[in-house]
Amino acid sequence: TQLLEQSPQFLSIQEGENLTVYCNSSSVFSSLQWYRQEPGEGPVLLVTVVTGGEVKKLKRLTFQFGDARKDSSLHITAAQPGDTGLYLCAGANPGGYQKVTFGTGTKLQVIP
């Protein structure tokens, strides 16, 4: 079973602060995705990274895929209350079929 461990599990910060969420595994993934989930809804995709060492930016969010394609990080600059939610990383296993395994999740609260 492929496990994706996220840290921290919970994060409560003030508006304007920066933060980094980590996603680690001992397995290699063909791609890694980050989702955000709000209460009462399903996860929504933020970004997909495919190449080892890849960095993608989405406004104030920066995503990085580790060189060995086993880990990833999400950095948020100047967090806003609208960033509040559950952040999930998800790895797609190499091979012919897309099996996507989700990480343990990081619950972020941004206080105004």
Partner 1 sequence: DAGVIQSPRHEVTEMGQEVTLRCKPISGHNSLFWYRQTMMRGLELLIYFNNNVPIDDSGMPEDRFSAKMPNASFSTLKIQPSEPRDSAVYFCASSFEVAGTGELFFGEGSRLTVL
Contact residues for partner 1, defined by CB under 8 A: 30-31, 33, 35, 40-45, 48, 50, 88, 90, 92, 95-105
Cβ within 8 Å of residue 41, ≥6 positions away? none
In whole angstroms, give the CA distance from residue 77 to residue 12. 14
CB of 52 to partner 1, least distance (A): 14
In whole angstroms, give the CA distance from residue 59 to residue 72. 18
CB of 112 to partner 1, least distance (A): 26
Based on CB atoms, which residue is closest to partner 1, 60 or 99?
99
Burial grade of 108 (CB within 10 A; 0-12, 13-18, 19 or more): buried
Based on CB atoms, which residue is closest to partner 1, 95 or 112?
95
CB of 23 to partner 1, least distance (A): 13
